[in-house]
Structure 1
């Protein structure tokens, strides 16, 4: 079987695994051994519903798991065998290579045949185990299953499964009294050779006429949030079935993907060179685009080296990637050896920079990422039962202060995962009335008031409206938090919805003058123009000044706002202010512009937001982008909006009660310590004045927008 993938003519020599200390190679070897013993669950993390669901997603795809997700209880648990029964009995086509045997009725159902190339032992495509045989036994007694050189027993009322290699001799098996023709699960097809190339590494997708994906063995076939297969390479040579194939090349948010249909002849070689079309050059304009929350290895069904991770970064045109080490539930800190070997030493390569940092995790109080620091934390996680630090102590603030003192920028990730209810007064309550350890950023309101937080992730794996609403509340309290993107991509998972998508599906741009160093990026994040986007580009200027500016003046003055948005995904542009109120908007298919004059009566903030619908190049349900805030002060005073301050006071009350009721502590002093951190934030949210502004429309000129 032909299988070749290259990073690029110059990129090949750049990276990277041979230059790392032995501990990193030893960790990868251990991960491979754990993967062989327990696919998806390297660190004995189970029982965990996410791993159960992702195990099924590898074959069925996340979109097909609706019945399984609907069957979950409030504890978010589901029995894996019960979930498998739901999938195989659903009124939906089976995935390729799946065979379902119902012993009671004597029926056999087949998915589409799994394509196997003539002359090869197995499929050249991603397929976990080849042919999957599922036996549903609703008989009152156990049944034996024999054939294909295998034998096993399925208990009464149970569902059993076995994965078989799609070898040429795969013939039949017998489940109880039912004979199963396994040859119908495999189709041998004549091969052809496909050679792919591009100027830079890109994200390729190769699909045959039957919809089956193909990739080089070294190409790490994965699936994005839309369940579309992909792999990264600059050049790749692979065998695929002769006939029609569809090839797509994409490269992240600044590019438009291109596709080509090719007819391949048996035994022949077809060469395709595809170049995604760049519609905006952020790097050339001095911007650095970053994804601050990426896991290389985090359990899963693939082991990812630094070389692999950098190739994915380059294939997405991502200037800065924050690779983080972190645990799941136990003491295993995935990629700790890699991160600690590179702290303070980012990897600079041909197409960008890879930074190394920390994800600190407490599922009750929240998770945050630390980018650009020079030190490891004393604790990598707290509050995970069965770990060395099972207590919800100390407060996250202690580790945030420790890492920030070491030069890191602190950003709370996945702050909320559900939309806010329309009732502003009760809005915080919904974060405290459902899953206890939901990984949401419950301590963010505390740590932001204590000056320990630089940013809040608005773009990750859920709709951004909820995180944006929380951000608006914090802005209204005068907190200068940058909006950021941390996709929480698990590069070691092949098919897990948004989590197996490429790094940079959402990204934050900061104006650095083209310097992709993480320290330069952190400085820009704290003070300069910032845009967070999964596709469209949006900008805002106030009296000619960029986002992030603090503009002071007298009450009653008028300021001029000009906003612009463009890109193939831009459909609606809005200028928003305190409380999320929309001051003005524009809609359409082309470049969008809004201009207005704003009378500033009290201190406030303004920003621009662009939205759109689904788009092939947007790796999310909808297009979305947002500028950072511009601050409009009055006589030296910044915004202190009472509804937002009251919102945060309510939040602190709820958090204190939540910690009292659900916190896990070794003794009363630990509880007192965490509650003391909550109390330390209360003075910041004292009452403040309202915001009032008046708006007048005016024309805008798009010609000088970057």
Structure 2
């Protein structure tokens, strides 16, 4: 077996680098799998080999859970008996014994984005029996810096969640157990308790839900009981907004717009029915892209070509929301159990400091103290403040904002981008970032607006990126409302309204009532715009 560390680079100030097989080979080990002694029957050439794999933390030497991606010589994924398998990988709790057909295998082993990847290949000979121990090296510890990870879109069996969370080093994992097609609680009582703790600092909740119909998908969290949703075949009626309004009446509930390009997104936002919006969503996959918008608002493929177009389209829509004076934090969800991501591939880190609780995590998410990622790891401050902070200035005053950033990566990132009011105003190459010891050039603001920082990797197959949540600037008491961005959503709502043609007049009127409210909201934003 040959094994390689994938590149992992920790880029704080001062800058430290670590390299592996992407830019060179490090930590190579070799294990030869030998056949058993002579005297085998002629048919033994077809006998399976037995291979035990153990994984430990490189620093502590203690066993840890991890995900294992193994493929045979024909590219087929390997399963392990009695361990949770999804699409191309399985989670295991520190050791696993595999019975494998003779042949050559490739593998990747990972434990979330804070550990180096291990990858390599091995050969199984007929009847062989062997074992190996692999160490996984953590190259950044986000929770020690106050950042705690969560994934808002999970469709995996609840009984598997403790292992799945440990294997991806994930801390908050609401499990969707009710949605349009089914509910786990139809013929049995609701779970008590609904919130389960793993290892004292990991939480999974059993009453998350999803309404996925014609307008898009809404995710529901922290409700005391499921909503009585219609079947998914009822695409437009009853309207999704009606159920979101019911959820809004529940204290502590949280509503997430699963993707920015869903047709009813501008309606839900206008009605105040969104606490967060999925910037890193399940169309961004570990090994590729779902390069379309499903039944959402399609992108212009000339301006947003594949494979990254869906990712940039999602971000530009989000920037239009921010340009309209709306302060909705970004979130992340992998869709594991529906699409082929592992749990925790797309994740949102929420800054909770030293007082991490389930409640504090959701409060931090709503406050916008977030970074979303499926790869690079950012720990940002602007003038010493976390994302979500509002900077105030008097009319005529100019603010100078200093951006301090720690960055850790497993893949090449050529530059960091500062996005201000929807435009990239700085592209800072990593050489300059290193030279400046983690500080980006200052940004000046003489009017209300917002800014954030993002990093996009050079991965050619998928949109692998990280983005901070926005910081906001208020000069005087005037919000920045872009006329172009407000018109963008007004046109969107009008286009959506033109699509709706229900046979029942009363149903059509109810659905159109929500659209009319949204239209009035966006018309008002256009009329009161403070910027082009």
Sort the TM-score into its range (normalised by shorter chain): 0.7 to 0.9
Aligned with 1:347: secondary structure?
strand
1:321 & 1:663 partners in 2: Cα distance?
Answer: 40
- Tell me which residue corresponds to 1:273: 133
Question: For each residue in 1:200-231, what CA deviation from the matched residue of structure 2 results, as whole angstroms up to 9, or x when unmatched?
Answer: 1100133445655433221344335xxxx444
- Tell me which residue corresponds to 2:420: 577
Which of 197, 210, 215 is the aligned partner of 1:348? 197
CA distance 1:687–1:356, change in 2 (3 Å) = farther
Q: Does residue 265 of structure 2 align to residue 444 of structure 1?
A: yes
CA distance 1:375–1:502, change in 2 (3 Å) = same
1:411 & 1:368 partners in 2: Cα distance?
Answer: 6
CA distance 1:343–1:652, change in 2 (3 Å) = farther
1:339 & 1:355 partners in 2: Cα distance?
Answer: 17
* 8 Å Cα contact 1:584-1:594 kept in structure 2: no
Q: Does residue 456 of structure 2 align to residue 614 of structure 1?
A: no
Structure 1 residues 8-407: aligned runs within 5 Å: 189-198=46-55, 199-208=63-72, 211-224=75-88, 229-242=89-102, 244-262=104-122, 264=124, 266-296=126-156, 305-327=157-179, 332-336=181-185, 341-342=190-191, 345-350=194-199, 352-377=202-227, 379-381=228-230, 384-385=232-233, 390=234, 392-406=236-250, 407=252
* 8 Å Cα contact 1:243-1:265 kept in structure 2: yes
Which of 533, 539, 545 is the aligned partner of 2:385? 545
Which has the higher mean CA deviation after the structures are superposed, 469-478 or 563-572? 563-572
CA distance 1:324–1:464, change in 2 (3 Å) = same
- Tell me which residue corresponds to 1:21: none
2:238 & 2:521 partners in 1: Cα distance?
Answer: 16
1:202 & 1:672 partners in 2: Cα distance?
Answer: 49
Higher relative contact order (CA 8 A, sep 6+): 2
Question: For each residue in 1:622-642, what CA deviation from the matched residue of structure 2 results, as whole angstroms up to 9, or x when unmatched?
Answer: 321111110000113222222
Question: For each residue in 1:320-368, what CA deviation from the matched residue of structure 2 results, as whole angstroms up to 9, or x when unmatched?
Answer: 112113446xxx4143459972487311112621123444325221211
2:236 & 2:136 partners in 1: Cα distance?
Answer: 47
Q: Does residue 371 of structure 2 align to residue 522 of structure 1?
A: no
* 8 Å Cα contact 1:511-1:524 kept in structure 2: yes
* 8 Å Cα contact 1:511-1:528 kept in structure 2: no
2:64 & 2:376 partners in 1: Cα distance?
Answer: 22
Which has the higher mean CA deviation after the structures are superposed, 402-411 or 451-460? 402-411
Deviation at 1:548, TM superposition (A): 0.7
CA distance 1:338–1:443, change in 2 (3 Å) = farther
CA distance 1:675–1:414, change in 2 (3 Å) = closer
Q: Where does the alignment leave 5 or more consecutive residues of structure 2 unmatched?
A: 1-42, 56-62, 285-309
* 8 Å Cα contact 1:393-1:674 kept in structure 2: no
Aligned with 2:153: secondary structure?
strand
**Between Structure 1 and Structure 2, how many residues are aligned?**
451
Q: Does residue 255 of structure 2 align to residue 410 of structure 1?
A: yes
Aligned with 1:356: secondary structure?
strand
Aligned with 2:330: secondary structure?
strand
Q: Does residue 459 of structure 2 align to residue 624 of structure 1?
A: no
* 8 Å Cα contact 2:270-2:518 kept in structure 1: no
- Tell me which residue corresponds to 1:132: none
Deviation at 1:415, TM superposition (A): 2.9
2:529 & 2:513 partners in 1: Cα distance?
Answer: 32
CA distance 1:679–1:560, change in 2 (3 Å) = closer
Q: Does residue 444 of structure 2 align to residue 599 of structure 1?
A: yes
1:405 & 1:187 partners in 2: Cα distance?
Answer: 67
- Tell me which residue corresponds to 1:70: none
Deviation at 1:192, TM superposition (A): 2.1
- Tell me which residue corresponds to 2:408: 566
1:664 & 1:400 partners in 2: Cα distance?
Answer: 22
2:496 & 2:106 partners in 1: Cα distance?
Answer: 52
* 8 Å Cα contact 2:51-2:130 kept in structure 1: yes
The structure with the greater share of residues assigned to helix is 1
2:260 & 2:273 partners in 1: Cα distance?
Answer: 15
Aligned with 2:315: secondary structure?
helix
Which of 491, 505, 510 is the aligned partner of 1:650? 491
Which of 463, 481, 484 is the aligned partner of 2:331? 484
* 8 Å Cα contact 1:288-1:319 kept in structure 2: yes
* 8 Å Cα contact 2:178-2:226 kept in structure 1: no
CA distance 1:262–1:629, change in 2 (3 Å) = same
Q: Where does the alignment leave 5 or more consecutive residues of structure 1 unmatched?
A: 1-185, 297-304, 417-439, 492-498, 693-706
2:509 & 2:483 partners in 1: Cα distance?
Answer: 34
1:402 & 1:258 partners in 2: Cα distance?
Answer: 47
Aligned with 1:376: secondary structure?
coil
2:111 & 2:276 partners in 1: Cα distance?
Answer: 26
Question: For each residue in 1:450-482, what CA deviation from the matched residue of structure 2 results, as whole angstroms up to 9, or x when unmatched?
Answer: 222111101121432111111101111111111
CA distance 1:449–1:212, change in 2 (3 Å) = closer
Higher-Rg member (1/2) = 1
Q: CA RMSD for the aligned pairs?
A: 3.2
2:45 & 2:190 partners in 1: Cα distance?
Answer: 47
